[in-house]
Amino acid sequence: MSNDPNWKETQAKLLREIEIFARSKHDLAAMDAADKTKPKAAAALTPQAAVRPAAAAAPAQPAAAPAAPPPQASGSLLERLKREAQAKRLTDSQVQVNQGHVQRAISDALQSTFQYLREFCEQLNVLKPPYPVAYNLLNLAQIDGLVWQEGRTDFRLVPEAKEERLLEQVTLRFRLAADRQFSVERENPAHEAFRRALIEANIAYHEEEFRNEKSRVERALYTFAGEVKAGLAFGADYQAGDIRFVTRNLRRFGAAEYRVPYEMLNQETFEEIGRLILGEENRIDKMLRRVA
């Protein structure tokens, strides 16, 4: 087969094809290596990006305004209003509860005061003790020798209170009297001031005027019994949360007014009020705040 001329030709052709194949494979390997060492090309731009100017070349722009808050979800405003309304209802309810407690405490204090004054007055109506203080009337008459005659306690309810009984006022009125008459004569015009003093002291009097030939009053004679009408009152002030205490003609002619915390209407205060009623020395002005 090696002596066949055709074989030799075929062998030579085969060798040339092998050489060409090897050379082609070498060229392909070299091309692949070259592609790996080249820098990658930038990604293709979209049409919009292609026409957009470069960021570095853009002129400076003013700071953008803050974005508006996104709209609240549907129902969030209503839910907030519901929560606020509920909180207010709870607050108002608590205020009403507190006011109710204060009102009940004030009424209870007045109830205790009434019970004490009623029992106190009942004993004095039996004993009828002498009154140790003389009442001075404009330094013109000293009404002394007074004795307890009678006293009476009373109370009044708040008319608007429908759910429960609340006391509005507690009162004590009493009368002192002396077994004698008093007479004071005053010239004009001083007689008018004395007449006013008798009226303000709630003293019943008889007036006799003496006139001159021209029918003008020259002087007047006032005759009145030795009697003093006195009393006191405790009034609830539910708005202010305390009690108004007013006295009239106690130990002297005239009125006085105090503001009393309802907690102060206790046994100690009652004892001092009792001494005040009897005309004895007491600590009322030191214990209570006087306003008039």
d(CA 208, CA 220): 5
Please give the mean pLDDT across all residues of the chain: 83
CA atoms of 269 and 74, how far apart (whole Å) = 63
> What is the predicted pLDDT for the residue at 88?
77
**What are the backbone angles phi and psi of residue 62, rounded to the nearest 5°?**
-65, 155
How, if at all, do strands 167-187 and 217-237 pair?
antiparallel
Q: Is 84 helix (H, G, I), strand (E, B) or coil?
A: helix
Per the DSSP assignment, residues forming a β-bridge with 275 are none
Whether 27 shows a pLDDT value over 60: the answer reads no
Mean pLDDT of 258-284: 97
Q: Rounded CA gap, 135 and 10, in Å?
A: 166
- The mean pLDDT value for 45-50 works out to 41
| Beta bridge pairs of residue 15 | none
Q: Which segment of 16-25, 142-151, 155-164 scores lowest on mean pLDDT?
A: 16-25
68 or 138: whose pLDDT is higher? 138
Please report the DSSP string for 88-106 in residue order. HHHHHHHHHHHHHHHHHHH
Give the pLDDT score at 23: 64
pLDDT of 82 above 90: no
The per-residue pLDDT for 63 is 56
Q: Quickly state the pLDDT bin for 107 (edges 50, 70, 90).
A: very high
Is residue 176 within 8 Å of residue 230, measured between CB atoms?
yes
pLDDT surpassing 80 at residue 36: no
- pLDDT at res. 58: 47
Instruction: Please name the amino acid found at residue 60.
Output: A
Which range of 7-16, 22-31, 50-59 scores highest in mean pLDDT? It is 7-16
What is the predicted pLDDT for the residue at 292? 87
Residue 215 has pLDDT above 80, yes or no: yes
Q: What is the band of 111 on the pLDDT scale with cuts at 50, 70, 90?
A: very high
Domain assignments of the chain as residue spans, ordered by start: 96-290
Mean pLDDT of 153-161: 90
pLDDT the model gives residue 290: 94
- Which of 57-66, 107-116, 162-171 is predicted least confidently? 57-66
Distance between alpha carbon 246 and the CA centroid of its chain, in Å? 26
Report pLDDT for 77.
Answer: 83
State the average pLDDT over residues 238-261.
Answer: 97
Q: Which range is least confidently modeled, 16-20, 99-103, 185-189, 223-227?
A: 16-20
- The enclosing H or E element of 74 equals none
Residue at 231: amino acid letter: G
Contacts for 57-66 with beta carbons within 8 Å, 24 or more apart?
Answer: none
Number of C-beta neighbours around residue 1 at 10 A: 6
Q: Mean of the pLDDT values across residues 180-196?
A: 95
Q: What percent of the chain has pLDDT over 70?
A: 71
